Amino acid sequence: MRFFQSLLAKNVRHGRIEVLAFCLMANHVHLLVRSVDGELSEAMQWMLSVYARRFNRRRDRDGPLVSRRFWSRRITDDIDRLVVARYIDLNPVRAGLVQNAADYPFGSARCYSVPKGPPWLSRQALEDEACLLSGVTRFRPSLYSAYVTRALDENALWVVERRLEHGPGPGASIEALAHDGLGGLRTWMIEALRNADGVAEPRVFMSPDYAMRAVDVEADCETWNVARGRHEISAWLVMKAGLLRGACGLAFREIALRLDVPDKRVRRLLDRHRTLLLSNARYGELVAGILQRGLRALVGGCVTVP
């Protein structure tokens, strides 16, 4: 693992990447990097190739060491970067290797736990974030563990993993929406639905379990049905479908399984959701409120919302 760190350092010296956070596990690697001149693919290919050759030579083996090409996605804003850094740093904690991220010897959390780390680690961005969150102007190592490596709850963990696997989706960032009021969030959701269809990538801001529980809390207070032609349909069911698509990023088939409805009914539920957002002020405020609370839960209180 130390050899892999030396390869990271060499890539940094050559100006291919800047490393903000890392975690080297036994069978995989997580990196938070800035691609300086768009050479991320070249940097990764070189590192993995050199590492594989050395690994094979030392163990008298042949053949590929890595089963598939590396995967990457773009960080959308400062909050996205912070949440991803937490996810990376907490990998060994979730794996049961250590109790505190700073105790793991092959992760950046340990580097940030001391005043001065390796010269190839670009510390400024995350140190500035820790200072901003704590309200101080000068970084201390204790701030990193207090504000950056704060534990991720199940909702945030699902969101990070989903965004890593499928991407965050287009449009507004976590940071921009977290600062928005209920009216702005409702407007954003209407615009997002206008631009979305069964193919377009939706946004990922909360877990399905969080969305479903949030609607159930509201539904416990009353039964609320809305007209659909000559029939009535539960507004809460419509709301769940809308949030699962617009805020959780689920595909139509995933929504059908979650709600235990036929696939073809999902589109009708989403059409009704769009109509209610446009025409029913109370419905729009409830949906925007759930999205707002989900965003606050995701960032863990890191953003001050007026």
What pLDDT is attached to residue 27? 81
Q: What are phi and psi of 12, to 5 degrees?
A: -65, -45
Band (pLDDT 50/70/90 cuts) for residue 199 is very low
Q: How far apart are CA 76 and CA 298, in angstroms?
A: 15
Q: Check whether 88 has a pLDDT greater than 90.
A: yes
Q: Check whether 179 has a pLDDT greater than 50.
A: yes
Q: Check whether 64 has a pLDDT greater than 70.
A: no
What pLDDT is attached to residue 66? 63
Of 128-137, 193-202, 247-256, the least confident = 193-202
Of residues 153 and 98, the one with the higher pLDDT is 98
Average pLDDT, the chain: 84
What is the DSSP-derived secondary structure letter of residue 300? T
Q: Check whether 301 has a pLDDT greater than 60.
A: no
Q: Collapsing DSSP states into helix, strand and coil, what is residue 20?
A: strand
What pLDDT is attached to residue 146? 83
| Averaged pLDDT for residues 96-119 | 93
Of residues 121 and 175, the one with the higher pLDDT is 121
Band (pLDDT 50/70/90 cuts) for residue 170 is low
Number of H helices, E strands in the chain: 15, 4
CA dihedral 105, 106, 110, 112 (to 10 degrees): 160
Band (pLDDT 50/70/90 cuts) for residue 61 is confident
Q: Check whether 80 has a pLDDT greater than 90.
A: no
Q: What are phi and psi of 98, to 5 degrees?
A: -145, 165
Which stretches within 18-123 are classed as H helix? 40-59, 78-89, 91-94, 108-112
Burial of 228: CB neighbours in 10 Å, binned 0-12, 13-18, 19+: middle
What pLDDT is attached to residue 235? 95
**H or E, element range at 18:** strand 17-24
Q: How far apart are CA 147 and CA 302, in angstroms?
A: 8
What pLDDT is attached to residue 130? 86
Sketch out the chain's domains with CATH numbers: 2-148 (3.30.70.1290), 155-299 (no CATH)
Q: Check whether 147 has a pLDDT greater than 80.
A: no
Q: How far apart are CA 123 and CA 178, in angstroms?
A: 25
Q: Which residues of 126-158 are buried (b: 16+ CB within 10 A; e: fewer)?
A: bbebbbbbeeeeebebebbbebbbbebeebbbb
Q: Collapsing DSSP states into helix, strand and coil, what is residue 262?
A: coil
Q: Check whether 193 has a pLDDT greater than 70.
A: no
What pLDDT is attached to residue 253? 94
Most confident of 67-76, 88-97, 189-198: 88-97
pLDDT in tens, 214-264: 999 999 888 899 887 778 899 999 999 999 998 898 999 999 999 999 999
What pLDDT is attached to residue 294? 86
Q: Taking the CA atoms of the chain, what radius of gyration do you get in angstroms?
A: 22
What pLDDT is attached to residue 90? 92
* Both tokens assigned to 46: 């070189």
What is the DSSP-derived secondary structure letter of residue 144? I
What pLDDT is attached to residue 204? 84
Strands 29-35 and 17-24: antiparallel
Band (pLDDT 50/70/90 cuts) for residue 13 is very high
Q: CA separation (Å) from 231 to 121, 129, 134, 227, 228?
A: 61, 52, 53, 6, 5
Q: How far apart are CA 272 and CA 266, in angstroms?
A: 10
Contact predicate 245/255, CB 8 Å: yes
Q: Check whether 305 has a pLDDT greater than 50.
A: no
Q: Looking up tokens 């970067």, which residue turns up? A: 81
* Both tokens assigned to 265: 């009914």
What pLDDT is attached to residue 54? 82
Share of the chain above pLDDT 70, in %: 87
Q: Looking up tokens 């979730």, which residue turns up? A: 94
What pLDDT is attached to residue 304? 39
Q: Count how many residues are written for the chain.
A: 306
What pLDDT is attached to residue 222? 87
